[in-house]
Amino acid sequence: MDNPAGDILERIIEGCLKEQRSSQHALYKMFYSYGMSICFRYSNDEQEAVGILNEAFLKVFDNLKKYDPAKGEFRSWFRVILVNTAINHVKKQQKFKLEVAMDEAMDVRQQEDILSRIGYKELIAMVQSLSLAYRTVFNLYVIDGFKHEEIAQQLGITASTSKSNLARAKARLRDMIREKLKAKYA
C-alpha cells in the first residue's frame, strides 16, 4: 500500500540532506505546529517557544544524516530533539539550584476529574504559569513520560527534588483549577 505522506516526507528529507532551502522550509512548515505544541509547554511565552523550536530545527538540519528511518519514524526522532532542546534551554536559565527536600512536599491526594470543565488553552496557560522548575518537571514526567531518575540526570537535580517539584506542581495546578472553577461557576 502506498503512503503518499511518507513519500513526500522522504523527498523533503532527501532535499534537506542536500541543503536545499526549499526542502528545509517545507520540513519546517510541515512540523511547525507539532514542534510548537511541545516547545510551548516548556516556555514562558510564544516567543520563547519559537526560539526553542528554531534551535531544535537547526539541530535537525545539522544531524539529519544521523536519522535512520529503519529505527523509527521521523516524528519520534524529532520529538527527542525537541524535548532535549527544551531541557537545555531550561538548564541555561539556571533556576534549578534551589533543592527542596521531598519531605517538605505537600501530600497530594487524588481528586475528582474536573479537567473536562476546563478548556485546553486554559490548562496550558495554568501549566505555563508554574515556576520554571515545576513546569519543566511536570512536563517531563506527566506529558513526556520520563522517570524521576532521568529527569534528575537531565536537569542536574536529585530524584527527590524532581518528585517534590512534581508534587508541588500538581498541588499548584489543582489550586488554580479550583479557583478557576469557583470563578467560572460562581
Q: Residue 17 falls within a domain, yes or no?
A: yes
- Closest to 124 measured CA to CA, from 43, 183, 182: 43
10 lies in the same domain as 87 = yes
Q: What is the model's pLDDT at position 13?
A: 94
Q: Residue 97 falls within a domain, yes or no?
A: no
75 lies in the same domain as 116 = no
HEC sequence for 75-122: HHHHHHHHHHHHHHHHHHCCCCCCCCCHHHCCCCCCCCCCHHHCCHHH
Q: Residue 88 falls within a domain, yes or no?
A: yes
Q: What is the model's pLDDT at position 178?
A: 84
Q: Helix or strand or coil: residue 62?
A: helix
Measured in residues, the chain has a length of 186
- Residue pointed to by grid coordinates 533543592: 99
Q: Amino acid identity, residue 46?
A: E
23 lies in the same domain as 76 = yes
Q: Residue 148 falls within a domain, yes or no?
A: yes
Distance CA 85, CA 30 (A): 19
Domain finish residue from 92, 110, 143: 92
Q: What is the model's pLDDT at position 109?
A: 37
127 lies in the same domain as 177 = yes
pTM of the model: 0.66
39 lies in the same domain as 73 = yes
72 lies in the same domain as 134 = no
110 lies in the same domain as 175 = yes
Q: At CA 23, angle to CA 61 and CA 76, rounded to 5? A: 50
147 lies in the same domain as 180 = yes
pLDDT in tens, the chain (186 residues): 456 667 899 999 999 999 999 999 999 999 999 999 999 888 888 899 999 999 999 999 999 999 998 888 999 999 999 999 999 888 887 654 444 444 444 433 333 345 555 677 788 888 889 999 999 999 999 988 999 999 999 898 999 999 999 999 999 998 988 887 777 665
CATH number for the domain that contains residue 175? 1.10.10.10
20 lies in the same domain as 86 = yes
Written as nine digits, the cell of 45 is: 511565552
Each residue's pLDDT tens digit, 103-153: 444 433 333 345 555 677 788 888 889 999 999 999 999 988 999 999 999
Per the structure, the count of domains in the chain is 2
Q: Residue 73 falls within a domain, yes or no?
A: yes
- Residue pointed to by grid coordinates 534549578: 96
111 lies in the same domain as 56 = no
21 lies in the same domain as 74 = yes
CB count within 10 Å of CB 69 equals 12
Written as nine digits, the cell of 104 is: 517538605
84 lies in the same domain as 106 = no
- Domain boundaries, position 140: 102-185
CB count within 10 Å of CB 163 equals 18
Domain finish residue from 73, 92, 111: 92
Q: What is the model's pLDDT at position 184?
A: 64
